[in-house]
Amino acid sequence: MYKKMNNVESIKMLEFVENGDDRGNLVVIEGDRDVPFEIKRVFYIYGSDTDIVRGSHANLKTEFVLVNVAGKSKVKIKDGLGNEIIYSLNRPKTGLYIPKMVWKEMYGFSEDSVLLCLASEHYDASEYIREYEVYEELVKKQRM
C-alpha cells in the first residue's frame, strides 16, 4: 500500500473504445479526448529482449500514455518515497497514463511486444532525470 503519494496518485489505466466489427478492431486515441493531454510525440519500442530494462527515468515535464499494441510488458513505477507499483500491459485497448515526475522502468517484454508511447511534449533530453538519487532529491525538495 502507498504511504503518502505525490504525482503517482494520478496514474491510471485508460480503457479505449474498441470499434470492432466482423472486419476486425480499430482503436482511436485522440489527444485531449482519450488521453489527458495534447499528443506532441509518438514513439514505439519493440525488439527488446525479455531481460532488458528500459526507461529508468523520470521526466520534469512530459506526461505519457503507454499501450502495448502487440504483446506484453510490465511497467514499474516508483515515487521516490519508497513506494512502487507494477502494471502489466497486455491489451491494445488499454493504456497506462503516467504523469510527470514519476520514475518508470519498462521490462518483461514479450518477443512480440510493441509498446506504443504517446507523449505530451517534444523530445528534450534535458528534461529526463536518469539518476534515481537525483530524482529522489527532487521529490523531497518538491514536498518541502
Q: Which stretch binds ligand TYD (CB under 6 A): 16-24, 29-37, 53-61, 68-76?
A: 53-61
| 122 labelled catalytic | no
Q: Of residues 12, 40, 41, 143, which one binds ligand TYD by CB under 6 A?
A: 41
**Helix ranges (DSSP H) in the chain:** 132-143
- What is the rounded distance in angstroms from the CA atom of residue 8 to the CA atom of residue 66? 15
Q: Of residues 28, 43, 84, 143, which one binds ligand TYD by CB under 6 A?
A: 43
Total number of residues that touch ligand TYD (CB under 6 A): 7
Report the nearest approach of ligand TYD to the CB of residue 16 (Å). Answer: 21
Torsions phi, psi for 43 (to 5 deg)? -145, 165
Q: Of residues 55, 95, 99, 108, which one binds ligand TYD by CB under 6 A?
A: 55
Q: Does 2 bind ligand TYD (CB under 6 A)?
A: no
Order across the sheet with 94-98: list the strands.
12-15, 94-98, 64-70, 114-119, 41-46
Q: Of residues 34, 36, 44, 54, which one binds ligand TYD by CB under 6 A?
A: 54
55/99 with CB nearer ligand TYD = 55
- What is the rounded distance in angstroms from the CA atom of residue 129 to the CA atom of residue 142? 15
- What is the rounded distance in angstroms from the CA atom of residue 20 to the CA atom of residue 40? 27
